[in-house]
Structure 1
Amino acid sequence: MSTGTQTMATDTRSVVLEWTRAMDRHDPDAFTTFMDENCVFTNTGTGERLVGREAVRQDLIGLLERWTDLRIEVVNLLVAGDSYAKEWVMTGVHTGDLPGLPATGRPFRILGAGVGRLRDGKIFEVTEYWNLADFLGQVGAIPPLG
């Protein structure tokens, strides 16, 4: 369905891809339009569990402030009804302080995956899996893995 110049995705694959593109464009407002008002977003890398669209929006704003040049590439996307599994590669530069870790200015490349479920065409549940130790090694906070 089209609303002005913006086309709203209606199938699971399209929703997930458009949602990811909004993050890649660094657009927290567009990013959260694809999410249910009462969504639950679990980030296994940081251990955070966010509840609600606004909490997810604020988290993305903070992420974009700390990780500039952030880009995400979908490597694989599997869809079954209203559920999905997405493999991705995220790149960026650590330019903002994290708790206990001042900005290093170093680039990083994170491999990860996420699983989620839609309800009424909006992303309702998301769990993202990635390795925080790998990121910390790449930005020089700990010895590199491997």
Structure 2
Amino acid sequence: MNPASQALIENYYAAFNAGDMDTFLGLLTDDVVHDINQGERQVGRAAFREFMNRMNRNYKEQLVDMVIMSSEDGSRAAAEFVVLGEYLVTDEGLPEANGQKYRLPAGAFFDIRDGKVARITNYYNLNDWIAQVGG
């Protein structure tokens, strides 16, 4: 475990849960790579900001039961957590939203460079989420 990487990921998720997008995005490298669950790879903080704007418009989420792990050298980290969410606005290609609540186990993998998140790859079971929101 690496204390600096551990703290970085803790701060990343604390900012997410607080809805503090400026702090959240400030923890990313300019060229951050974002591998979206069952989706495309996006590169850059601007693309990540657009993704988060869509997510925050369509979903209200809090992450709980967080477990964070990091490599000894601090270059990589992982997190496992549960997403407590509410589906607010219909997202393209997904079932219609009407405030459905969901509880979804998820995980993320990180590359860390110069004290910032350089890559994040998120995983969750999309079929589980669709079943929970009534798709």
Taking structure 1 as the reference length, what is the TM-score of the superposition? 0.83
Residue equivalent to 2:32: 39
Q: Tell whether 2:59 aligns with 1:28.
A: no
Q: 58, 73, 79: which one pairs with 1:66?
A: 58
How many residue pairs match? The answer is 130
- Percent identity, aligned pairs only? 26
Equivalent pair of 1:111/1:130 in contact (CA under 8 Å): yes
Q: Distance in 2 between matches of 1:84 and 1:95?
A: 31
Cα shift at 1:61: 1.5
> 4+ residue runs of structure 1 moved beyond 3 angstroms?
none
Cα distance change, pair 127–86 in 1 and its aligned pair in 2 (3 A):
same
Q: Tell whether 2:92 aligns with 1:113.
A: no
Q: Distance in 1 between matches of 2:58 and 2:28?
A: 23
Q: Distance in 1 between matches of 2:66 and 2:11?
A: 15
Give the aligned residue type for 2:113. Answer: R
Equivalent pair of 1:74/1:86 in contact (CA under 8 Å): no
**Mean alpha-carbon deviation: is it higher for 72-81 or for 14-23?**
72-81
Superposed CA RMSD: 1.4
Greater RCO, 1 or 2 (C-alpha within 8 Å, sep 6+): 2
Residue equivalent to 1:144: none
Cα shift at 1:64: 1.1
Q: Distance in 2 between matches of 1:54 and 1:30?
A: 14
Structure with greater helix share of residues = 2
Cα shift at 1:124: 0.3
Cα deviation code 1:57-98 (max 9, x no counterpart): 111111111112x10125311111221011011111111111
Cα distance change, pair 12–59 in 1 and its aligned pair in 2 (3 A):
same
Q: Distance in 2 between matches of 1:50 and 1:28?
A: 18
Residue equivalent to 1:15: 8
Equivalent pair of 1:104/1:140 in contact (CA under 8 Å): no
